[in-house]
Each structure stands twice: as C-alpha cells, then as structure tokens.
Amino acid sequence: MTTEIDRIKLRRWRKRGFYSETVLVKLLQKKGYNAVRVPVSNPSLNPLPDIMARKCLHFYAFEVKNASYYAYFPRVQIDKLFRFLDLFCPSGNEKKHAVVAAHLGKRWLFKEISWTDWEKNKLPDKVRILKRDRGNLNIDTCYPQ
C-alpha cells in the first residue's frame, strides 16, 4: 500500500526527470541537433533512451539524470542505450554514441560510454558522474561530418 505522501514524492521525482530531459532537448536543438524526448517514464526492459538525437550522420542515445552533486547510471540503463543504437541505427558504431548526461544544478556533464566495453560485455556495474568531474563529450564541438 502506498500512502499519499509516497505518491507525492514519486510525482515530484518524475517531474525532476521530465524537466531535465526537456531542458536537454532544447539545449541540443539550440546546438544544431535534431533531438526528441522519448515519452516513456516506466522502467521497462524495452531498449529506449530518454532522448534520441542526431547531428549530421551521428546518432546519440542519452540517459539523463537530475542530481545536485552526483548521478549514478546502472549497467541496465547503459545497456539499453547500446541495444537501442544497435537495433535502430543502421550506420557503423563509429557514428553511434551512447551518452549518460547528468544535470547538476545549472551544469551539464556528458560521458560517452565505449562501444568496445559493450561488445566485450565489460560494462561497469554503474557509471558515476560527480559535479567536480569533467565529461568526455562536448556537445558544442563533437563529431563534425
């Protein structure tokens, strides 16, 4: 049995995620990407990212977290990004990018996960992004034609 307080907390938690996803879509579009939010808020086994984006010939699948200081991305969510890209993007792996994105206050950090790790079944149990980290993906300058 869930109480009314639990329902309110769950709604607030979902709104935070929706807000960050919407902000990232607008940011990507401003930077020249074609981006859409995937409106699925259930933790299903379907390989769907939070956001799909394309710029030139490159495809991106984003998993987004809203946090104040750090964000954790479990292996299951990272695996979904790769399965989505593998199933639905026909180009070679060099043009497909699985990205975890942390919205930490006003700051965004992006970390691209290696295809080699996924292909060799060596994904980490979880990926952690701290506010003091530096991401390995810059959405302003990445992957020109």
- Predicted confidence at residue 108, as pLDDT, reads 93
Domain ranges of the chain: 4-130
With contact defined as beta carbons under 8 Å apart, do 60 and 52 qualify?
Answer: yes
Mean pLDDT by 10 residues, the chain (145 residues): 65 65 94 90 76 94 91 93 93 93 92 94 93 86 59
115: helix, coil or strand? Answer: helix
With tokens 């639905």, the residue in question is 88
Phi and psi (nearest 5°) for 100?
Answer: -100, 135
- pLDDT value for 136: 86
| Chain centroid offset of residue 2 CA | 29
pLDDT given at position 28: 95
For residue 66, the SS3 value is strand
CATH class of domain segment(s) 4-130: alpha beta
Q: Any alpha helices (H) in 1-145, and if so which ranges?
A: 4-30, 75-88, 115-119
Compute the distance between CA of residue 31 and CA of residue 24 in angstroms, rounded to an integer.
11
pTM of the predicted protein model: 0.84
Report residue 106 CA to chain centroid gap. Answer: 17
